[in-house]
Structure 1
Amino acid sequence: MQIAPLIDRSRELVRQRGLTAKQAVQTAIDEFAESSEQIVQEESLTSQIEVELLGYGVLQRYLDDQDIEEIWINKPGELHYFSKEGKQVVQLELSELTIQNLVRRLLRHSRRKLDRLTPYVDADLADGSRLHVVMPDVTRRNWAINIRKFSRTRISLSDLISKEALTTDQAGLLTSAVLGGKSILVSGATQAGKTTLLTALLNELGPGERIVSCEDTFEISLDHPDWVAMQTRPTSPEGDFEISLRELVKQALRMRPSRLVIGEVRGAEALDLLVALNSGIPGLGTIHARSAKGALEKLLTLPLLAGENITDRFLRLTIPTAIDLVVHCERSAAGTRKISEILKVRDEILA
């Protein structure tokens, strides 16, 4: 049966009588059962309606599935996801209006907005998952949604060894480096496991460390007693001014961090990071690159975006004293991830 009328009636009961969502659902089903000649499967109906009212509708089962890493929607009626079995596509009852309503619900937690003035948005869900949405006219026709699932389990280097993402020798080297106060840059392509490795490295730190992290949207998940997590904020039609990643780095330096973390180095904030690391604060971050040396070459250009009097010579002298290791991650066509390279940064590499 179509449950849309029951969903509408439940919402009406919430507005008119002030019932809780669960009370409204039960009342709507009771009314339907009394007026219907067919047998009503109350338990099933209750579950379906509550998912629509309190959860994320047709997306909820995929969000709850721990084997699924990422979900995306390109057009009505179709959902893609990536799991342990690889990429999958399913056909769903998913209209354009349903997609738009889902996006509004998905954005409630972050309170970020999507409209014609700002037709794309990055946000986080209540469970920490990362949401990205783009709407027309930036897309050709349909709203495009990506949700990168958040891992609820604590990630350690030992976990990555068991998944064959790195060797015991590599784990030993990285543990010694992070505990010894070395600054580490994690490089790789999209979904190569950069943030996962970064999180595992940070989880090796003891309670005496003070960690301050800066991200575009919250992705890092730590089990640490002294951790401050910050994320950027875009401008809004209501007058909220932008808080950039570069500004977050400046604020972080005033918070007495013993470890400074940048979720992804991709702009002018690279200059502030290099200056901070050169001042004696160990740090970690990720960067998109095709190789460890490629990451360093990219680090030679990103600070130039700061628009200040930065020279190539200055950067070539600064980077080797700021970054100790570059760890490169790769993802195979089958979806497996591994560390392919650990590069010790020396002056001659940038010569």
Structure 2
Amino acid sequence: MHILFVADPIESFKIYKDTTFSMMRELQRRGHTLAVCEPQDLAWQRGGEVSAVVRTLRLTGDPLHWFDVSTAEGPQPLRSFDAVLMRKDPPFDSEFFYATHLLEQAEREGARVFNKPRALRDHPEKLAIMEFPEFIGPTLVTRSDAAIRAFHAEHRDIILKPLDGMGGMGIFRVRDDGMNLGSIIETLNQGGANTVMVQRFLPAIADGDKRILLIGGKPAPFCLARIPQGGEVRGNLAAGGKGIARPLTQRDREIAEAIAPVLYARGLLLVGLDVIGENVTEINVTSPTCFQEIHDQTGFDVPAMFVDALEAAFAP
């Protein structure tokens, strides 16, 4: 197959941990050919097809000079590729949103896009958990100062976060004394202009914020528990969390096996569930990671599981 990755600049990849790189490496190992572009390379002209100026990619195996590229002559229609993998990292901003519309038009022209563009739009990563109330802790989504204060009065120890945050950015904990609650509300909801998610604090965060990978409608057998360090409340690797791979618990598997087929049926080939204790806290669909960390620590070949699922999507 000829595979196009829509991603951040490949020059920025940290290949010792980058999930997109691990996908590329496994695809090339199996004989598939690779091309790359960035979202800003997508274009759609009146009367034409969605296209992009792409670069043909070959991985060299040299960790210092790990790729060779050549630029295609002229824009290439996206439908000319066997699969288009949307791997642009968050934030899910207006430009990401517009890119999903261009990719959806490319689908109408015959392209196969993973994850499905409409599904990317329909599953904002924090809000998406609300569809599965049986698997989440007490949670409120609101712009209301009074509603947030009432939630704190009920639960006493809470987490507040912006809906568009990433990597642990903008997450606050307010304990029983309510210290700085008013200031935090003002910071996050900007006088009622921005929607805030509020959740009861889960003490199980001390044991890690687990990333469970759902691939092709099935869970990988290991997760990556991201454990807060140095008094932090956030386990995100971007916020300094330490990643430790573990087998799924019975509860992890129960959650994953209930949610995975629902999301896969909607066109989400790859999903990253974030689970603290026994509660889902986020459903990541834009560019889930942790393939290499799990593979390196357990030997389970997550990239191979992903490419198996991608190839199966083309089986007759």
Query: Normalized against structure 2, the TM-score is what?
Result: 0.27
Q: Which has the higher strand share?
A: 2
Query: Normalized against structure 1, the TM-score is what?
Result: 0.25
Higher radius of gyration, 1 or 2: 1
